[in-house]
């Protein structure tokens, strides 16, 4: 029994080390000076330059880093809240309610995920020009308020996580479907919703191609900001990674908060009769 | 929390989020037709560092009704997709755009995306630019000028003095320049070097790099003739450049590194290659990568053959600009000999104007890291001696295919004959 | 609260509301997605389809050519090479990835110490910046001084030029993809596993079922929707593979000297934006769509059968 546990721990430890290593190395470089970056073997231990590098980060005019962080925070929160709400609602509808065309519409939603996004940039930019939204925050928020991915994920969770009997009982009780959603389904969906919230926040925070296309350097989101730290012919890695490190901190915070939600919801679900 | 409160809180957060995004908007104001004497804002789109900050101030002082706003994207790789998007959608390109040589050449296929600068008096500016640079932005019939030249990637041949010394070769840059008046002589020198250096070092970094330089010296056109027809297989100049390069690869002169890769970056310090064709912009990179320990060990000599340039940019006025006249005037100012000199002093961007090149500031420019090499003189000469070369619109794409074939040769996947066939076949498919 | 007095009338009214609610509300709930899609998704889709029917140069003119682009695609060896590469990389990357993710999730589904740390640790790749990933993996698979070559050198194998061949580049890219996405899929499985009540396992334990048997006979079937989800999503993601091969090739869209690892998404992007052939690139985009639909359908049917007979 104990031996098996040891094996489990060892496997997990190896998995963690592999997963975390590049992140750790990023941190190491952010605390060093530039002459050690190209070294072989590369440096493995942190240095003392973090403060200096972070100061340079916020002073870099071309990057507008502070604004980038703020813009990304607003965008990520807005998109996450909206996505979790609307996608869990739609997911519930697809999973538990019966209506005409349900399967066809679901397949349609799935289909929208199968179109390569890169070709959509130019026409979507045209839409933004028509709306007058170039270089605005709404351009990076509004198109993403509900996602096909989220609807699909929530539907899959709702299939299993919500017992049909509970819904039947609520219907007999005379509850409206929204009430059923709010009091019965949403609590049961908590782990799934937390997963969606986490992924959506991370996805929006890490988004680069579309913000680069529609925004300018004076109103960036954080990844665009980071790309402005580079120069054409030489990359100041310590600066770059100091920026990346600071940009990762909010993600880490969200990670921990939602991690607890997932675990919390998980424990509830596990004890269910 | 009770259901009521949670519901209310949730709604408030969602609403706040949406309101915040709407409020924090504030896009660029739509352009309007100027009334006489009205204030005009000119938007200049640039990438990397053109060094125009002081110039803008000077221009605004001389033209009180004009304000200049520069919108800069740090990396060319991030700038290019945005530029394509602006031109394709007809919105967002501002009033003056920077065009890197590779993309200018592609836009020359449809020059009417841009204002014809000849309509704004650019014809009188011809002698202010190097002949080949002027011709690059001019349509073959000479009727439309798409852009005015800014900087050029003038080149020298950077070499490692210490590695040369170890291999028994001269180290003084004049002497070294005499070693290779032609590419054949360069190959011979290379063979001497690798014979002495053994396994430790090769002569140059990659075949693709060398090939580019040799190709541009082979006449007045490369892959395409002036009618736009693909002549890669019939132009003897292309084959000559190919054969010279493959002979070098065959003699094991190439370190077979991929440009910009980690090993290429490390190679400046570790000495995996003794020479590299280096444009002005690469000097800073070499200094950073090789480090303080090698100060004075890298030096710059002339390039074999006559004239070597890699890249460079132009300023153009997009058709979508609401103020073409004012924009053309600004572009003329920024690319004038005085403007180019100021940009050189600010960012070491090498001028494309002969008057600027001849200026003492450029001629006396030395680089301390590179053993005080008179880089201004060396680069000036290589920029001036280059003859005009016609590059067709698909030049970049075809060039990439040829480069890939050379890489396959270096990787040992194809022999020289098969690689040449591969280059031609894939070039034909690309240029269809 | 049960309605009292005027009972029949109130029952009739609430029954009508409830019927309306049942028939109308589902459409209201799914409407937000379709409204947004109509504004921001439909136009790009239609536009891309329209462009694909033209000889449309990004810098220049466009002429209507009907299905010529698609006909040319069928005869284009570089396109089919990219298709083969994409399918190959997808299989090499996804099969191990989903299996490892299942394993990881089952390991994390136990009462262990330091659980939050472990569970979140496997998600670290999702918050690691692309730049760091690019550098670490370039170093790892570097020809002359890379860790991978050093490791295989320990067992006497010659150093490999990872970018030079199909099999080596596919393997390296699969490593990059799996590193990034395994934890993500593991978390999805884990959240699903947590809805399985403990007493089901206890009953099986009492019946004498081994852990492995419990895993295959109880866990997998009960998390089937999650499995199907990850299979479909990784199919869609795999067919659209773009970032990892691009990073592996130092940002070159050609994917190797002889297109050893160029995916269809890279080919599409190269045609549209490097060679300025916007019409052709759009046609490639639609071919990718058809390809994804086909492969996703196959994978869906396969995974539905394999994870047990159910709805």
pLDDT value of residue A127? 94
Alpha-carbon distance C50 to C66, whole Å?
Answer: 9
pLDDT value of residue A252? 86
Q: Residue A160: which pLDDT band, with cuts at 50, 70 and 90?
A: confident
Longest dimension (CA), chain B: 87
Please give the helix or strand (H or E) that residue B117 lies within, else none: none
* Residue B12 pLDDT greater than 70, yes or no: no
pLDDT value of residue B332? 96
What's the Cα-to-Cα distance from B293 to each of B164, B268, B269, B270, B298, rounded to whole Å? Answer: 17, 12, 9, 11, 11
Q: What are phi and psi of A114, to 5 degrees?
A: -95, 5
Mean pLDDT calculated for residue range C144-162:
88
Judge: B262–C254 Cβ closer than 8 Å, yes or no: no
**Nearest to C78, CA basis, from C248, C274, C305:** C274
What's the Cα-to-Cα distance from A264 to each of A157, A192, C118, C166, rounded to whole Å? Answer: 16, 12, 15, 45
pLDDT value of residue C193? 85
Q: Residue B362: which pLDDT band, with cuts at 50, 70 and 90?
A: very high
Alpha-carbon distance B121 to C234, whole Å?
Answer: 58
pLDDT value of residue C208? 83
Mean pLDDT, chain B, whole residue set:
88
DSSP E strand boundaries for B128-246: 147-160, 202-204
Mean pLDDT calculated for residue range B313-328:
96
Cis amide leading into C64 (omega within 30): no
* Residue A272 pLDDT greater than 50, yes or no: no
Q: Which of A36-40, B136-140, B428-432 is predicted with the least confidence, judged by mean pLDDT?
A: A36-40
CB C225 within 8 A of CB C191: no
Helix (H, G, I), strand (E, B) or coil at C63: strand
Pull the structure tokens for residue C123.
């998600």
Tell me the pTM: 0.87
Judge: A195–C188 Cβ closer than 8 Å, yes or no: yes
Distance, CA of C116 to chain centre? 26
* pLDDT tens profile B372-395: 999 999 999 999 998 889 888 889
Q: What are phi and psi of A86, to 5 degrees?
A: -70, -35
* pLDDT tens profile C4-21: 556 777 666 667 777 777
Mean pLDDT calculated for residue range C103-128:
81
Q: What percent of chain B has pLDDT over 90?
A: 74
Pull the structure tokens for residue B399.
């060039």
* pLDDT tens profile B43-62: 999 999 999 999 999 999 99
Residues of B whose CB is below 8 A from C164: 411-413
In the structure, how many helices (H) and strands (E) does chain B have? 19, 8
Note the residue count of chain B: 432
Helix (H, G, I), strand (E, B) or coil at B69: strand
Mean pLDDT calculated for residue range C205-228:
84
Torsion of CA A217, A221, A225, A227, to 10 degrees: -100
pLDDT value of residue C1? 52
Q: Residue A268: which pLDDT band, with cuts at 50, 70 and 90?
A: very low
Residues 6+ apart with CB under 8 A from C4: none
Q: Is the dihedral of CA B287, B288, B289, B294 positive or negative?
A: positive
Note the residue count of chain C: 311
Residues 6+ apart with CB under 8 A from B69: B41, B42, B43, B44
Judge: A35–B291 Cβ closer than 8 Å, yes or no: yes
Q: Among C222, C226, C285, whose Cβ lies nearest the Cβ of A119?
A: C285
Pull the structure tokens for residue C106.
């089952």
* Residue C171 pLDDT greater than 80, yes or no: yes
Pull the structure tokens for residue C219.
């866990």
pLDDT value of residue B304? 94
* pLDDT tens profile B255-270: 999 888 888 888 998 8
Residues of A whose CB is below 8 A from B26: 136, 219
Nearest residue on chain A to C35, alpha-carbon basis? A146
What's the Cα-to-Cα distance from C266 to each of A59, B431, C6, C252, rounded to whole Å? Answer: 36, 18, 69, 9
CB A12 within 8 A of CB C108: yes
β-bridge pairing B202-204 and B273-279: parallel
In SS3 terms, C188-233 reads as HHHHHHCCCCHHHHHHHHHCCCCHHHHHHHHHHHHCHHHHHHHHHH
* Residue C310 pLDDT greater than 50, yes or no: no
**Nearest to C291, CA basis, from C216, C235, C233:** C235
Q: Among A77, A78, A134, whose Cβ lies nearest the Cβ of B28?
A: A134
* Residue B20 pLDDT greater than 70, yes or no: no
Judge: C59–B412 Cβ closer than 8 Å, yes or no: no
Mean pLDDT calculated for residue range B239-253:
95
Q: How far is C48 from chain A (nearest CA, A)?
A: 7
* Residue C90 pLDDT greater than 70, yes or no: yes
Alpha-carbon distance B99 to B46, whole Å?
Answer: 8
Question: Burial code of A145-183, b = ≥16 C-beta within 10 A, e = fewer?
Answer: bbbbbbbbbbbbbbbbbbeeeebeebeeebbbbeebbbe
Residues 6+ apart with CB under 8 A from C174: C89, C92, C93, C96
Q: Which of B129-138, B289-298, C93-102, C128-137 is predicted with the least confidence, judged by mean pLDDT?
A: C128-137
**Nearest to A74, CA basis, from A24, A136, A28:** A136
10 Å Cβ neighbour count for B384? 16
Most A-contacting residue of B12, B22, B76, B78 (CB-CB within 10 A), to test interface: B78
Residues forming a β-bridge with B240: none
CB B110 within 8 A of CB B84: no
Judge: B27–A132 Cβ closer than 8 Å, yes or no: yes
Helix (H, G, I), strand (E, B) or coil at B98: strand
Residues of A whose CB is below 8 A from C179: 18-19
pLDDT value of residue B303? 93
Nearest residue on chain A to C50, alpha-carbon basis? A123
Question: Burial code of B390-428, b = ≥16 C-beta within 10 A, e = fewer?
Answer: bbbbbbbbbbbbbbbbbbbbbbebbebeebbebbbebbe
Mean pLDDT calculated for residue range C58-65:
84
* Residue B13 pLDDT greater than 80, yes or no: no
Alpha-carbon distance B121 to A20, whole Å?
Answer: 61
Q: Among A15, A255, A266, whose Cβ lies nearest the Cβ of C191?
A: A266
CB A260 within 8 A of CB A266: no
pLDDT value of residue B16? 41
CB C264 within 8 A of CB C284: yes
Task: Check CB contact of C78 with chain B, cutoff 8 Å.
Answer: yes
Q: Which of A248-262, C97-111, C278-292 is predicted with the least confidence, judged by mean pLDDT?
A: A248-262
Please give the helix or strand (H or E) that residue A32 lies within, else none: none
Residue of A181 and B157 predicted with greater confidence: B157
What's the Cα-to-Cα distance from B391 to each of B123, B182, B239, B399, rounded to whole Å? Answer: 22, 23, 16, 10
Please give the helix or strand (H or E) that residue B316 lies within, else none: strand B309-316
Q: Is C132 exposed, middle or buried (0-12, 13-18, 19+ CB in 10 A)?
A: buried
Judge: B28–A125 Cβ closer than 8 Å, yes or no: no
Judge: A227–B75 Cβ closer than 8 Å, yes or no: yes
Judge: C258–B110 Cβ closer than 8 Å, yes or no: no
Query: How many CA atoms within 13 Å lie on the side-chain side of B133?
Result: 33
pLDDT value of residue A39? 66
Q: Residue B120: which pLDDT band, with cuts at 50, 70 and 90?
A: very high
pLDDT value of residue C258? 94
Task: Check CB contact of C36 with chain B, cutoff 8 Å.
Answer: no
* pLDDT tens profile A215-262: 999 999 999 999 898 887 777 888 988 999 999 999 888 888 887 766
Residues 6+ apart with CB under 8 A from C181: C97, C125, C234, C237
Q: How far is B175 from chain C (nearest CA, A)?
A: 33
* Residue B22 pLDDT greater than 50, yes or no: no
CB B371 within 8 A of CB B383: no
């Amino acid at each position: 029994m104990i031996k098996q546990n040891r094996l489990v721990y060892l496997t997990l430890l190896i998995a963690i080390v592999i997963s975390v290593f590049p992140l750790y190395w990023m941190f190491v470089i952010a605390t060093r000076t530039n002459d050690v970056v190209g070294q072989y073997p590369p440096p493995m231990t942190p240095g003392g330059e973090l403060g200096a590098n972070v100061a340079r980060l916020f002073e870099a005019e071309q990057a507008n880093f502070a604004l980038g962080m703020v813009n990304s925070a607003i965008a990520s929160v807005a998109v996450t809240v909206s996505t979790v709400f609307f996608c869990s609602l739609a997911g519930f509808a697809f999973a538990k309610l019966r209506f005409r065309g349900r399967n066809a519409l679901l397949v349609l939603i799935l289909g929208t995920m199968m179109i390569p996004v890169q070709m959509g940039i130019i026409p979507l930019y045209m839409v933004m020009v028509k709306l007058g939204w170039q270089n605005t925050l709404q351009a990076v928020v509004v198109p993403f308020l509900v996602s096909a991915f989220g609807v699909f994920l929530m539907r899959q969770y709702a299939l299993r996580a919500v017992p049909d009997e509970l819904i039947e009982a609520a219907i007999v009780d005379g509850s409206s479907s929204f009430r059923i959603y709010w009091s019965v389904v949403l609590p049961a969906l908590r782990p799934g919703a937390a997963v969606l919230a986490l992924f959506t926040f991370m996805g929006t925070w890490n988004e680069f191609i579309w913000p680069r296309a529609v925004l300018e350097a004076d109103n960036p989101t954080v990844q665009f900001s980071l790309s402005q730290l580079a120069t054409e012919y030489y990359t100041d890695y310590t600066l770059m990674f100091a920026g990346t490190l600071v940009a990762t901190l909010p993600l880490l915070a969200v990670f921990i908060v939602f991690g607890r939600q997932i675990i919390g919801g998980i424990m509830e679900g596990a004890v269910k009769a | 929390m009770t259901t009521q409160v949670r519901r209310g809180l949730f709604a408030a957060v969602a609403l706040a989020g949406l309101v915040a995004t709407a409020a924090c908007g504030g896009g660029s104001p739509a352009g309007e037709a100027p009334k006489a004497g009205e204030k005009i804002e000119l938007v200049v789109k640039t990438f990397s560092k053109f060094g125009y900050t002081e110039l803008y101030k000077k221009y605004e002082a001389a033209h009180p009704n004009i304000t200049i706003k520069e919108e800069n994207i740090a990396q060319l790789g991030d700038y290019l997709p945005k530029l394509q998007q602006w031109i394709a959608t007809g919105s967002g390109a501002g009033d003056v755009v920077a065009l890197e040589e590779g993309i200018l050449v592609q836009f020359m296929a449809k020059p009417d995306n841009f204002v014809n600068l000849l309509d704004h008096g650019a014809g009188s500016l011809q002698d202010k630019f190097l002949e080949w640079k002027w011709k690059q932005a001019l349509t073959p019939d000479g009727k439309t000028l798409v852009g005015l030249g800014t900087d050029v990637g003038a080149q020298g041949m950077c070499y490692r003095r210490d590695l040369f010394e170890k291999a028994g070769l001269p180290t003084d840059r004049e002497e070294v320049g005499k070693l290779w008046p032609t590419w054949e002589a360069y190959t011979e020198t290379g063979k001497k070097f690798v014979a002495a250096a053994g396994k430790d070092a090769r002569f140059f970094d990659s075949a693709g790099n060398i090939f580019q330089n040799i190709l541009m010296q082979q006449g007045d056109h490369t892959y395409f003739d002036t009618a736009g027809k693909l002549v890669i297989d019939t132009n003897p100049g292309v084959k000559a450049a190919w054969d010279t390069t493959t002979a070098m690869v065959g003699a094991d002169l190439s370190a077979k590194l991929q440009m910009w890769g980690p090993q290429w970056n490390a190679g400046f310090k570790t000495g995996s290659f003794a020479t590299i064709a280096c444009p002005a912009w690469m000097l800073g990179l070499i200094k950073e990568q090789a480090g303080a320990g090698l100060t004075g060990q890298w030096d710059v000599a002339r390039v074999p053959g006559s004239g070597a340039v890699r890249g460079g940019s132009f300023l153009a006025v997009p058709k979508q600009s609401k103020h073409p006249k004012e924009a053309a005037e600004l572009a003329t100012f920024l690319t004038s000999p005085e403007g180019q000199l100021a940009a050189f002093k600010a960012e070491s961007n090498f001028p494309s104007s002969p008057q600027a090149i001849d200026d003492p500031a450029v001629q006396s420019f030395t680089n301390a890291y590179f053993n005080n090499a008179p880089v201004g003189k060396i680069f000036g000469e290589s920029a001036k001696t280059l003859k005009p070369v016609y590059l067709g619109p698909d030049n970049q794409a075809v060039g990439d295919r040829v480069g890939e074939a050379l890489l396959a040769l270096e990787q040992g996947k194809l022999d020289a004959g098969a690689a040449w066939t591969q280059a031609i076949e894939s070039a034909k498919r690309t240029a269809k | 609260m049960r309605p009292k007095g005027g009972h029949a009338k109130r029952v009739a009214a609430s029954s009508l509301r409830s019927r309306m609610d049942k028939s109308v509300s589902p459409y209201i709930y799914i409407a937000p997605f379709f409204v947004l899609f109509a504004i921001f998704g439909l136009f790009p889709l239609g536009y891309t389809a329209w462009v694909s029917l033209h000889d449309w140069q990004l810098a220049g003119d466009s002429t209507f050519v009907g299905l010529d682009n698609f006909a040319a695609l069928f005869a284009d060896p570089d396109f089919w090479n990219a298709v083969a590469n994409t399918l190959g990389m997808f299989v090499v990357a996804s099969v191990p990835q989903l299996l490892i993710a299942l394993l990881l999730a089952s390991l994390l589904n136990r009462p262990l110490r330091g659980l939050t740390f472990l569970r979140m640790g496997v998600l670290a790749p999702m918050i690691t910046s692309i730049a760091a990933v690019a550098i670490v993996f370039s170093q790892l698979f570097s020809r002359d001084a890379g860790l991978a070559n050093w490791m295989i050198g320990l067992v006497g194998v010659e150093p490999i030029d990872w970018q030079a061949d199909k099999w080596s580049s596919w393997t390296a890219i699969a490593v990059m993809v799996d590193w990034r996405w395994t934890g993500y899929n593991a978390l999805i499985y884990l959240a699903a596993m947590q809805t399985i009540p403990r007493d089901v396992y206890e009953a099986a334990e009492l019946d004498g079922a081994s852990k492995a048997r419990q895993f295959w006979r109880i866990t997998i079937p009960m998390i089937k929707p999650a499995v199907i989800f990850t299979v479909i999503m990784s199919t869609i993601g795999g067919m659209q593979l773009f970032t990892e091969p691009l990073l592996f090739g130092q940002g070159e869209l050609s994917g190797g000297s002889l297109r050893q690892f160029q995916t269809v998404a890279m080919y599409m992007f190269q045609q549209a934006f490097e060679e300025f052939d916007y019409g052709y690139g759009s046609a490639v985009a639609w071919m990718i769509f058809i390809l994804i639909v086909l492969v996703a359908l196959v994978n869906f049917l396969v995974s539905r059968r394999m994870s047990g007979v159910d709805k």
